[in-house]
Structure 1
Amino acid sequence: MKPTLIILISLATILISAQEKQCSDFKTGKFKYSDISWSEITSVRTDSTQTDYYSESNMELVSKITWLSDCKYKMEYTKVSEEWFKHKIGETMIIEIVEINDNKISCRNESYEIEMIKISN
């Protein structure tokens, strides 16, 4: 009986820890922002790019993503669909995932902290 109990406890521990999400779970996917002022933006991220779609203005903003560590990446704007936003091309920022809560991540750069919600893979 004792070996069976040890095996069951070990399996439960493995299953519980396997369900915890890590930064790598958020490197790709489709995201929305929880902040109402950013609610029109949908972000689609691959391992090397992020495209932000602005629903109200039909604008697209494409960025190159370079992962610096498991939870930190550099984002460089490479393409915009609106002429008035062309000055952003070449700008970079360092973003760090500072907290994970279920399907939400809190991200921080030198200017702000914002929460993103992963809505699909």
Structure 2
Amino acid sequence: MMGFMTMTFGGMSMSNGVMAIIAIVGAITCRKGDKKWVGGGFFLAGVATFTAMLSFVLWTVQAGPLGEKDDTSLKTAFFLMIIAMLHYPLAMFMFWKHLQLDSGKQGSAMA
């Protein structure tokens, strides 16, 4: 059961991350800061971060007692999950910063 939950949250993290990328790119390029796209990008990236953290915790709990012989040790996929977990909030911050700079440019052009 624990392995199934780990795989489920890992898959949810990946799929929400892909949808967040699509929403963020769409909000920057096509929709030019449309609130629905911006909110969707932040929400999906937040869900991706949360599910990646859950996957990290479950994976750590699962891999501890089993060890190397059952091949649930902390290998490449585990470290890729950690990298993804750290990059989702970084992407949200960079998107927020882009929106701040973009709104500043529009405000100064009007004056």
- Give your verdict on TM over 0.5: no
Tell me which protein shows more helix as a share of its residues: 2
Tell me which protein shows more strand as a share of its residues: 1
TM-score, length-normalised on structure 2? 0.24
TM-score, length-normalised on structure 1? 0.23
Higher relative contact order (CA 8 A, sep 6+): 2
